Amino acid sequence: MSETDLREDLRRAAFPAVEDVEVRGHIIDSLILPKVLDGITAAGGMFIIKNVAIGHDRSDPSFARIEVRAKDEAALEEIMAQISDHGAVAVHGGDARLVEADMDGAFPEGFYSTTNQKTEVRLGGHWIGVADQEMDCGIVVDDRSISCRCLPMTEVQRGMKVVVGHVGTRVFPLERQEQGHAFAFMNSAVSTEKPKGVVIREIARQLFENRRDGKRSLLVGGPAIVHTGSGPLVCELLRDGYIHKLFAGNALATHDIEQSLFGTSLGVNLSEGTIVDAGHEHHLRAINLIRRAGSIAAAVESGLLRSGIMYECIKNGVDFHLSGSIRDDGPLPDVVTDALECQRIMREMVKNVTFCLMVATTLHSVAVGNLLPATVKVVCVDINPSTVIKLNDRGSFQTVGLVTDVEPFLRALVAEVRKLEG
């Protein structure tokens, strides 16, 4: 990020109250545009000219769209009152339209469909930030607290007030809002030819800084982590407090436990790479043992399970969630098999996550990508470029893709983290 961008970001952060205005007419010849801009600055605000169209001949009007910013709502109102005298008009077009939900589990027709970008809704003349930002939801408004939040349609209850249409809504695309985040240099393009060392160093720094600043990092992992023998690397990150939450499926947990109990993953001896006799039964026997114990935690408690990713999660207080699927064996007793319930749990768990590492899992990555607001930085690591592309195509703009084998990636990541620890 350039120094100018940084300065711009800092300036924006100091002027959080925003309103877009339009000025039209012969705004250049009449000095109305400079007058409006001077007025904003003189009143202690700042402006960003978003668009200017200059008329071609003398009778052609010109047009400017200006983002007006002030240190707070009161200051903004003062500026707006002043510049509206010169013909500047707010472009919000009024308050958002609210319609009461007429049934449970569905929005009223014409509901505003959300993105994962920061969104605000205009209510009673004020812009209110939308909480729990998530794509493909609706926005419900709570009159009493004058607050609003994203809500998936399954959660809608009759009588809830739902934003309908686009009037009185605005979205702050991340490109503008936060150009200068730490990942700026790695744009979301997926390439197998990125300098991986640089990217991995950056991911290590994110994990390191998150731990240092008390922020939460989430790992979404697939069973290839275990199959490739990378389990111990993840265990290191778990033990040292770099990963605070884990989302996975039945497979990762099962093969991790299989490895812990039998030394194999899908029947393959991970130390020797050889196929073990009757090894294909190991994962089922592992599941059965945990089911008999009651839960993974109970198995750790009783001393049955003494190593591995799941063991480290229990031992280090890392919250985990296991989502079921129709092809699962068992599943493990901790696996949640109701898909909507899984969404609810994950939605709750991602609320304070600021960094997400997705490793070797396609469906989970897409599912979690859907739940995350665009402000959360996401790194998707997969041997298959299409996984990363899929995530980008679904609108998770913040995803940095890294096409690489899991084991060398995690090995390099742990090494980079160690370097930062000094």
Partner 1 sequence: MSSSPRILMCAPTHYGIHYEINPWMKTERQADHALAQLQWRALRDQLIAAGAEIAEIAPVEGLPDLVFTANAALIFKRRAVISHFKHVQRQGEEAHFRRWLGADGFEVFETPNRFSFEGAGDALFCGDTLFAGYRQRSDALGHQQIGELLGVRVLPLELVDAYYYHLDTCFCPLAPGVAIYYPGAFDDYGRRVLAAHVPTLIEVEAGEAESFACNAAVVGRTVITNVGCADLHRQLRTAGFTPAETPLGEFVKAGGSAKCLTLRLDGEEAAGWRV
By the 8 A CB rule, do 365 and 381 touch? no
Amino acid residing at 184: A
β-strand pairing of 169-172 with 62-70: unpaired
Nearer CB in complex with partner 1: 68/233: 68
Contact flag: residue 31 with partner 1 (CB under 8 A):
yes
Nearer to partner 1 (CB atom), residue 60 or residue 175: 60
Binding mask 74-103 for partner 1 (x = CB under 8 A): ----------xxxx-x--------------
| Residue 170 interacts with partner 1 (CB under 8 A): yes or no | no
411 binds partner 1 (CB under 8 A): no
Number of neighbours of residue 421 by Cβ within 10 angstroms: 10
In 113-250, beta strands by DSSP E:
118-123, 126-131, 138-142, 147-151, 161-164, 169-172, 216-221, 245-249
Contact 213, 421 (CB under 8 A): no
Helix (H) or strand (E) holding 82: helix 73-84
Residue 34 engages partner 1 in binding (rule: CB under 8 A): yes
Residues binding partner 1: number (CB under 8 A) = 17
Binding of partner 1 by 29 (CB under 8 A): yes
CA distance 307 to 93: 60
Residues 6+ apart with CB under 8 A from 27: 33, 36, 61, 62, 63, 64, 87
- Shortest distance, CB of residue 63 to partner 1, whole angstroms? 10
The binder of partner 1 chosen from 9, 20, 24, 232 (CB under 8 A): 24
**In terms of CB distance, is 32 or 374 closer to partner 1?**
32
Judged by CB, which is closer to partner 1: 6, or 31?
31
Tell the residue number behind the tokens 């809704």, with chain if given.
121
- Could you give the string, one character per residue 59-78, with x where binding to partner 1 holds by CB under 8 A and - elsewhere? x-x-----------------
Q: Give 44 or 61: the residue with its C-beta nearer to partner 1.
A: 61
Residues that bind partner 1 (CB under 8 A): 24-26, 29-32, 34-35, 58-59, 61, 84-87, 89
